[in-house]
Structure 1
Amino acid sequence: MTATVPTAGIGSSPRSLAIPAQWRARIGYGILLAILAYLVVLPMVRLQALAFEDGAQGYRNEYGRFDIAETIWTTVALAVGSLVIAMVLGTLLAFAASRLPAGMGFLKMIPILPIVMPAVANIVGWAFLLSPGPGYLNVLLRKLPWWSGSDSGPIDVYTVPWIIILTGFGLTSFVYLFVSAGMQNISAEHLEAAQTSGSSTVGVFFRIVLPLLRPSLIYGGGIAFLLGLGQFTGPLLLGQNNGVNVLTTDMYRRVSESPADFAAAAAAGSPLVILGIAIVLVQKLLLGNQSRFVTHGGKAFSPTGGRARWASATLVVYALVALVIPMVGLVIVSLTPYWSGSLSWGLFTLDNFRELFANASVTESIVTSVLTSLGAVAICIPIGYAMANLLVRGRQHKVLGLVGDLITALPLGIPAVIFGVGFLLTYTEPPLILYGTRTVIVLVYVVLMLPFAVRMQMTAMLSLGNTYTEASATSGASPLVTNLRIMLPLMRPAILSAVALMFILLTHEFAASLLVRASTTQVMGTLLYDMWQNGSYPQVAAMALLMTAVTAGGVGAAMVVGGRNVLSNL
């Protein structure tokens, strides 16, 4: 007896049963967003649930304090003040880098170099120099007639104005990264046409350059503002001497006290979360149609250039102030048995470095830092590329794009300390108990680096425009082929720059690591912070220099793979 084959299957084609490409993309993006929401949103939801327990007792504990108004004011002043400094300096340095004379292009990497020094090391270096009593620069200033006879000052690095100044210097490199990326994609034809019409250098800057840099300025400014709001290192290390407190240090104090008040810590972080979401929405409104800012024109494209001597001088002066001077402070302290305002050649010794290399925990912390950082970067790059592609070209997925934009921007508005607390709560309970393992460090690193992975690749996509993808599609190439053969090669400098930046930031990270680490799982940042807490200042200086060397080694490896442009195009 012959089996009857249903007639509906005779003429059916595999294509008729296949899921349409548009829906496959939606499903793929939906799965990716669900994973990211689990990593980014779930820890914050658990913290906020704690804050609202017992009739929102966490909010009453936090905002019922007598000094909360001063804490909020200091937080806002730090964010706004550091933003202004970073935007002015970052934009000026990017314009100066674009006007460098021929043969001086290597100076473009100078504004990036301060990132290589850990933030905690930079702050400590300035403390060694500008502490009112034994600070080395203060000792020199007191030899001048104006301040002679005084035994302290004239500069007090532990005050709010100096915390703002140093934070602004620290954020300048981040602004420079975005603005310089946009500057390199401005065709020289625009500037030459303006100069031919009689415009001065200043006129070209304000009339041509700034309008074309609008996307980079908005993204860079938004990121700098959010980083300023969530600033932790400067206020913690410098502010505690004079009782300077911001929301981030208050949150850390809440989770460090015994018993820990997670609910109050979550309540303290709520304004930062709200502002982070608001700034993302403002960015989208201000940018509008982003294709207006594309000046990359294909084969005939020529980047900007110049012969301005002031440009070289500007970059060199910035390097001295932002990098060389605090580095000198670290070197001096690392070579002395104790920190003192008086120096003599007889005090210099390498004992601090010998003790450091003889300590097995130091070697283990370096291995853990490198492995967890590379693991997080390897996960972040493809996720960042997919999300950048969704945000730039996913016009048919507007809802998914908006959700993705919010999720990937949240880590900028939420301090790393709070993510550490959230991960501590989430991954010390079933179904995933990961506390104290390298895996949980990698996961929290992935969350912290998402904004940078997405924004840097997104900026590169915006600069390239749609010309290349449309030409590839017209030739019959699939989206996969277009991405692999067209977009990825063109974006290689931006991708390698993102790798270098994330590796730098992760090898320096200690705030979130401090909360998810175990005594047997240390990274370099947490070990350095323990030394700082113990008052081992020469060891702190030596460890900071070691961290800088490890980071520089990672950047050097990226340059070997991608060439000099990796650092100059960070």
Structure 2
Amino acid sequence: MSTAQRAAEPRTPDEAGVTPQPPTRKPRGATARMLRSPLGIGVVIGTLWFSVAFLVMPNVTLLQATFAPDGELSLSAFERLLSSERALRSLGNSVLLAATLAVTVNVVGIFIVLVTGWFKMRARRVLWLGYATTFIYGGIVLATGYAFIYGRYGFLTNAIANVWPEMDRDWFSGFMAVVLVMTFATTTNHMLFLSSALAKIDHQSIEAARLMGASNWTILRRIVLPTLRPMIFAVTVLVFLTGLGALTAPLVLGGQDFQTVAPMILSFSRTTTSRDVAALLAILLGLATIVLLAILNRVERGGTYFAVAKVASPLEPQAFRTRWGSIVMHVLAWALWAVYVFPVLCAVLFSFADSRAVQGGSIGLGDLTIEHWVTVLTQPDALSPFIVSIVYSALASVAVVAALVLVSRALTTWRGRLSSVIEYVLHIPWILPTILIALGLVITFDRPQWLVGGQVLQGTVIILGLAYVIVKIPFTLRLLKAAFAAVPDELEDAARILGAGQLTTIRRVVVPIIAPTMAAVAALNFTSLVDDYDAAVFLYHPLAEPLGIAIRRATEGDSNVQAMSVTFVYTVLLMIVQGFVLWLVYGRGLRRRRG
């Protein structure tokens, strides 16, 4: 609670007009009650086993393989890292990319939020839909799409080369290409969080400032942006972390001159002789993530937050004071809209175009065909990567939600030291990059481990699914805990009075109430996993190749021309599936609220 809030509160219960209540305390003996309950015992045993086997042991094994490969402390990994010019350059490139994105993404993201939520723009809904294409078009799919459009053999490059044969075909590669692609691909957090924060600003304070003679620019600079500062800082940290651990864009578009840490980890991990250097790079990446998140939490705890009105008026779009200001903002907004929408339209067009026409840089009506769609939808080999990704993502999403329902229930029911320890352990994946988690699983389970019955999981179809479950645990746990906290205690008390057991109460009373949240979390997990490449590249089974691997292979060597159109069919299918899922989560609820 901030100082301003404490100062505004009544000093005594009588001043507040309420009857004094005893202070709320944590229930004593929560751990003992948890261990006396069959449900609590099951949750504790299952959670501790999973945490030790898949969250703690892989990281310990990774540290051991890096700093004590022969059972004795060794700093040879540091020596090899310091002697590797490529590795050191990749570290510098990652920091440079992260720092650059922290500026460029904020500039573009804040502009997007303002033109869709602050200024009175024409066709704001169309603008928002164009900027929101990053929800359904990202990751390896987006990087590959940009490569097929602007890359060495891309459509636009081929079209320009027809007019200017002497052009440099590698014009869209290296640092600037990666920055441009990631700038337009990582504004999703601004669309989600910053737009929500802007919508909560009290319109009455804006009108009060306007009545005092403040201009739109003054209101924006002295009221709106300072109010959004905490959220801008939080989003900036997330963007910095994204740039620090970027894999797909530098891998596809970085070329030989610009490689970051993540591609170097992937390169070094492919041979056993350099795996310790890969592990050290992953550990450094994880430490940087932990430090930045700690800084974010410290700033949030030290911040002062206050409301300007007890009943805030909804924010209304602000009209432009001058015609020229309106023209400039509309031109910039729609030009940026075209940048976002153009790759999506190209993906749809190229999925119906002959690959030779795309290669030639000129597409006519006679070049349109449905051959690629027929190939993907009718040939098992072509459709297999898409089905594999759908199955992996669906199973992992459902499994993590189903398992964490009981865990979240136990953590909210029995709040004690044991539940706090379990919760902290389950948040380990939140502070570690996906690459570090995947590399830890590779190093740990490439040999028999007694915690999994003496099985070797590396090289099986199970380990990638486990990785998907692991990376989604913190996000799922936090949302399910919030959903359980909103369930009225009276309903559970009534069920217990009627003789219902704990599992029956959860199944017939609690789960129906939190079912919408469970479905939304599962859907969001699904859309974020279906085009995954970061974990898949380390853990996929050769006979169960996911979509991210198939799309990445299409950009390598001479296969890109032949596989280009099929890859765009995959892209369009992914956009359809992800768009439908997001509509189920957000669109229907929004429609009901408006109705």
TM-score normalised by structure 2 residue count: 0.73
Aligned letter for 1:529?
R
Kept in 1: contact 2:533–2:548 (CA 8 A)? yes
Q: 1:388 to 1:86 in 2, by over 3 A?
A: farther
Mark the runs of 5 or more structure 2 residues left unpaired by the alignment: 1-26, 321-325, 495-501
1:245 aligned to 251, 254, 259, which one?
259
Name the structure 2 match of 1:8: none
Name the structure 2 match of 1:84: 103
Distance apart, 1:76 and its partner CA? 0.8
Kept in 2: contact 1:62–1:68 (CA 8 A)? yes
1:445 aligned to 464, 468, 474, which one?
468
Structure 1 residue 235 and structure 2 residue 274: aligned? no
Q: 1:110 to 1:437 in 2, by over 3 A?
A: farther
Kept in 2: contact 1:223–1:412 (CA 8 A)? no
Question: Which deviates more, 272-281 or 321-330?
Answer: 321-330
Name the structure 1 match of 2:148: 128
Distance apart, 1:89 and its partner CA? 1.8
Name the structure 2 match of 1:256: 270
Structure 1 residue 58 and structure 2 residue 82: aligned? no
Q: 1:406 to 1:325 in 2, by over 3 A?
A: same
Kept in 1: contact 2:81–2:88 (CA 8 A)? no
Name the structure 2 match of 1:169: 184
Structure 1 residue 151 and structure 2 residue 174: aligned? no
Where do residues 164-313 of structure 1 align in structure 2 (5 Å cutoff)? 164-240=179-255, 242-257=256-271, 259=272, 261-288=274-301, 292=305, 300=311, 302-308=313-319
Kept in 1: contact 2:150–2:172 (CA 8 A)? yes
1:328 aligned to 330, 336, 346, which one?
346
Instruction: List per-residue Cα deviations over 1:68-113 (Å, max 9, x = no partner).
Output: 3322211111111122222222222223322365984565444332
Q: 1:260 to 1:353 in 2, by over 3 A?
A: farther
In structure 2, C-alpha distance between the alignment counterparts of 1:521 and 1:505, rounded to whole Å = 19
User: Alignment RMSD, CA only?
Assistant: 4.6
Distance apart, 1:389 and its partner CA? 11
Kept in 1: contact 2:127–2:337 (CA 8 A)? no
Structure 1 residue 40 and structure 2 residue 63: aligned? no
Question: Secondary structure of the residue that 1:509 maps to in structure 2?
Answer: coil
Name the structure 2 match of 1:111: 131
Instruction: List per-residue Cα deviations over 1:141-193 (Å, max 9, x = no partner).
Output: 679xxxx8562149711121221221222111233322223333444344344
Kept in 2: contact 1:380–1:450 (CA 8 A)? yes
In structure 1, C-alpha distance between the alignment counterparts of 2:572 and 2:431, rounded to whole Å = 24
Kept in 1: contact 2:156–2:361 (CA 8 A)? no
Kept in 2: contact 1:276–1:413 (CA 8 A)? yes
Mark the runs of 5 or more structure 1 residues left unpaired by the alignment: 1-17
Instruction: List per-residue Cα deviations over 1:449-507 (Å, max 9, x = no partner).
Output: 3455467789x99xxxx9x89xx7899999x99xx999997996x87665444322211
Identity of aligned residues (%): 17
Kept in 2: contact 1:87–1:221 (CA 8 A)? yes
In structure 2, C-alpha distance between the alignment counterparts of 1:289 and 1:22, rounded to whole Å = 32
Where do residues 427-466 of structure 1 align in structure 2 (5 Å cutoff)? 427-428=445-446, 429-430=448-449, 431=453, 432-450=455-473, 452-453=475-476
Aligned letter for 2:287?
I
In structure 2, C-alpha distance between the alignment counterparts of 1:276 and 1:200, rounded to whole Å = 40
In structure 2, C-alpha distance between the alignment counterparts of 1:294 and 1:62, rounded to whole Å = 50
Structure 1 residue 550 and structure 2 residue 574: aligned? yes
Kept in 2: contact 1:365–1:523 (CA 8 A)? yes
Instruction: List per-residue Cα deviations over 1:345-366 (Å, max 9, x = no partner).
Output: 3544443333333431343333
Kept in 2: contact 1:385–1:457 (CA 8 A)? yes
In structure 2, C-alpha distance between the alignment counterparts of 1:490 and 1:313, rounded to whole Å = 45
In structure 2, C-alpha distance between the alignment counterparts of 1:456 and 1:314, rounded to whole Å = 37
Distance apart, 1:221 and its partner CA? 2.0
Q: 1:256 to 1:364 in 2, by over 3 A?
A: same
Kept in 1: contact 2:30–2:416 (CA 8 A)? no
Q: 1:315 to 1:197 in 2, by over 3 A?
A: same
Distance apart, 1:232 and its partner CA? 0.5
TM-score normalised by structure 1 residue count: 0.76
Kept in 2: contact 1:227–1:412 (CA 8 A)? no
Kept in 2: contact 1:157–1:238 (CA 8 A)? yes
Distance apart, 1:567 and its partner CA? 11
Question: Secondary structure of the residue that 1:353 maps to in structure 2?
Answer: helix
Kept in 1: contact 2:87–2:264 (CA 8 A)? no
In structure 1, C-alpha distance between the alignment counterparts of 2:423 and 2:468, rounded to whole Å = 18
Name the structure 1 match of 2:396: 376
Aligned letter for 1:423?
L
In structure 2, C-alpha distance between the alignment counterparts of 1:342 and 1:408, rounded to whole Å = 49
Name the structure 1 match of 2:441: 423
Q: 1:150 to 1:103 in 2, by over 3 A?
A: closer
In structure 2, C-alpha distance between the alignment counterparts of 1:199 and 1:256, rounded to whole Å = 61
Name the structure 1 match of 2:3: none
In structure 2, C-alpha distance between the alignment counterparts of 1:307 and 1:386, rounded to whole Å = 47
Question: Which deviates more, 179-188 or 73-82?
Answer: 179-188
